[in-house]
Amino acid sequence: MTQSTDTQGTVTAVYKVTGMSCGHCEGSVSGELSRIPGVESVKAVASAGEVTVVSAAPLEEEAVRAAVDEAGFEYAGRA
């Protein structure tokens, strides 16, 4: 997993998500992940099957899995 703590006190993590194929998919995953408390920004890239999340603290893996599932896609672990 790529996870780093930025100088501003934020954490950046990259997660693998399968099933995304378009901008709408990216928006669905981003929207659900944005609802997790502490998330500051989300960038999903369907072509890479990755989602980059910037948050105030490390996220619970189960919360990420649940958000991705709610969006209708499959969480495949940390990148």
Q: Assign domain 3-78 to its CATH architecture.
A: 2-Layer Sandwich (3.30)
The 10s digit of each residue's pLDDT in 11-70 is: 999 999 999 999 999 999 999 999 999 999 999 999 999 999 999 999 999 999 999 999
CA distance 17 to 31: 14
pLDDT of residue 12: 97
Strand segments, DSSP code E, in the chain are 3-5, 11-18, 39-45, 50-55, 74-78
CA distance 67 to 31: 9
What is the domain partition of the chain in residue ranges?
Answer: 3-78
The model's confidence at residue 9, banded by pLDDT at 50, 70 and 90, is confident
